[in-house]
Amino acid sequence: TQLLEQSPQFLSIQEGENLTVYCNSSSVFSSLQWYRQEPGEGPVLLVTVVTGGEVKKLKRLTFQFGDARKDSSLHITAAQPGDTGLYLCAGNFGNEKLTFGTGTRLTIIP
Protein backbone atom coordinates (compact mmCIF):
# COMPACT_ATOMS: atom_id res chain seq x y z
CA THR A 1 0.00 0.00 0.00
CA GLN A 2 1.41 3.35 -1.01
CA LEU A 3 1.14 6.12 1.56
CA LEU A 4 1.58 9.81 0.91
CA GLU A 5 2.38 11.93 3.92
CA GLN A 6 1.90 15.67 3.72
CA SER A 7 3.35 18.21 6.09
CA PRO A 8 2.45 20.30 7.83
CA GLN A 9 -1.07 19.10 8.45
CA PHE A 10 -2.21 22.63 9.36
CA LEU A 11 -0.59 25.97 8.51
CA SER A 12 -1.82 29.43 9.38
CA ILE A 13 0.22 32.44 8.27
CA GLN A 14 -0.15 36.15 7.66
CA GLU A 15 -0.91 37.59 4.24
CA GLY A 16 2.29 38.39 2.37
CA GLU A 17 4.41 35.64 3.92
CA ASN A 18 5.96 32.74 2.03
CA LEU A 19 5.31 29.08 2.77
CA THR A 20 6.23 25.59 1.66
CA VAL A 21 4.25 22.37 2.04
CA TYR A 22 5.61 18.90 1.43
CA CYS A 23 4.46 15.57 0.10
CA ASN A 24 6.49 12.41 0.73
CA SER A 25 6.21 8.77 -0.20
CA SER A 26 8.32 5.66 0.26
CA SER A 27 7.46 4.58 -3.30
CA VAL A 28 8.38 6.09 -6.66
CA PHE A 29 5.64 8.02 -8.42
CA SER A 30 5.08 7.70 -12.15
CA SER A 31 3.41 11.11 -11.88
CA LEU A 32 2.32 13.44 -9.12
CA GLN A 33 -0.32 16.14 -8.91
CA TRP A 34 -1.30 18.93 -6.60
CA TYR A 35 -4.93 19.82 -6.03
CA ARG A 36 -6.61 22.61 -4.07
CA GLN A 37 -9.96 22.05 -2.42
CA GLU A 38 -12.14 24.85 -1.08
CA PRO A 39 -14.98 24.30 1.41
CA GLY A 40 -18.03 22.73 -0.18
CA GLU A 41 -16.22 22.04 -3.44
CA GLY A 42 -14.33 19.19 -5.04
CA PRO A 43 -10.54 19.19 -5.47
CA VAL A 44 -9.30 21.19 -8.45
CA LEU A 45 -6.13 20.19 -10.27
CA LEU A 46 -3.31 22.74 -10.06
CA VAL A 47 -0.39 20.98 -11.68
CA THR A 48 1.03 17.63 -12.80
CA VAL A 49 4.73 16.76 -12.59
CA VAL A 50 6.28 13.75 -14.24
CA THR A 51 10.06 14.12 -14.50
CA GLY A 52 12.41 13.89 -11.51
CA GLY A 53 13.74 17.34 -10.60
CA GLU A 54 10.99 19.07 -12.57
CA VAL A 55 9.94 22.56 -11.47
CA LYS A 56 6.68 24.16 -12.56
CA LYS A 57 5.39 27.62 -11.79
CA LEU A 58 1.80 28.80 -11.65
CA LYS A 59 1.85 32.55 -10.84
CA ARG A 60 2.97 32.69 -7.19
CA LEU A 61 2.99 28.90 -6.78
CA THR A 62 6.13 26.86 -7.47
CA PHE A 63 5.95 23.08 -7.61
CA GLN A 64 9.01 20.86 -7.41
CA PHE A 65 9.30 17.14 -8.00
CA GLY A 66 12.13 15.37 -6.19
CA ASP A 67 14.99 13.91 -8.19
CA ALA A 68 14.06 10.39 -7.06
CA ARG A 69 10.36 11.02 -7.76
CA LYS A 70 9.38 10.12 -4.20
CA ASP A 71 8.61 13.60 -2.92
CA SER A 72 7.31 16.99 -3.97
CA SER A 73 6.96 20.47 -2.57
CA LEU A 74 4.66 23.40 -3.15
CA HIS A 75 5.99 26.87 -2.41
CA ILE A 76 3.71 29.91 -2.29
CA THR A 77 5.22 33.38 -2.45
CA ALA A 78 3.47 36.38 -0.89
CA ALA A 79 0.45 34.37 0.23
CA GLN A 80 -2.98 35.92 -0.21
CA PRO A 81 -6.31 35.13 1.49
CA GLY A 82 -7.48 33.54 -1.75
CA ASP A 83 -4.82 30.87 -1.31
CA THR A 84 -6.70 29.53 1.72
CA GLY A 85 -7.79 25.93 1.21
CA LEU A 86 -6.92 22.28 1.54
CA TYR A 87 -3.92 21.32 -0.57
CA LEU A 88 -3.73 17.69 -1.61
CA CYS A 89 -0.98 15.88 -3.39
CA ALA A 90 -1.93 12.80 -5.37
CA GLY A 91 0.37 10.19 -6.84
CA ASN A 92 0.07 7.65 -9.54
CA PHE A 93 2.27 4.63 -8.99
CA GLY A 94 1.87 3.16 -12.44
CA ASN A 95 -1.55 1.66 -11.80
CA GLU A 96 -5.01 2.84 -12.70
CA LYS A 97 -5.74 5.03 -9.70
CA LEU A 98 -4.63 8.14 -7.86
CA THR A 99 -3.60 7.85 -4.23
CA PHE A 100 -4.16 11.04 -2.29
CA GLY A 101 -2.04 12.49 0.47
CA THR A 102 -3.15 13.36 3.97
CA GLY A 103 -3.63 17.04 3.05
CA THR A 104 -2.43 20.42 4.31
CA ARG A 105 -5.05 22.86 5.52
CA LEU A 106 -3.75 26.34 4.76
CA THR A 107 -5.23 29.51 6.24
CA ILE A 108 -3.99 32.94 5.17
CA ILE A 109 -4.84 35.65 7.66
CA PRO A 110 -5.54 39.08 6.14
Partner 1 sequence: DTAVSQTPKYLVTQMGNDKSIKCEQNLGHDTMYWYKQDSKKFLKIMFSYNNKELIINETVPNRFSPKSPDKAHLNLHINSLELGDSAVYFCASSQELGSAPLEAFFGQGTRLTVV
Q: CB of 78: closest distance to partner 1 in angstroms?
A: 26
**Residues 54, 71 contacting (CB under 8 angstroms):** no
Out of 3, 7, 16, 44, name the contact with partner 1 by CB under 8 A.
44
Query: Which DSSP symbol is given to 37?
Result: E
- Measured from the CB atom, the residue of 40 and 110 that comes closer to partner 1 is 40
- Measured from the CB atom, the residue of 37 and 62 that comes closer to partner 1 is 37
Out of 40, 59, 82, 110, name the contact with partner 1 by CB under 8 A.
40
Out of 42, 59, 82, 110, name the contact with partner 1 by CB under 8 A.
42
**Residues 102, 91 contacting (CB under 8 angstroms):** no
CA 96, 1, 101, 62: dihedral to nearest 10 degrees? -70
Q: Please give the angle made by the CA atoms of 96, 100 and 105, to the nearest 5 degrees.
A: 160
Binding site for partner 1 (CB under 8 A): 30-31, 33, 37, 40-45, 48, 50, 86, 88, 90, 92, 96-100, 102-103, 105
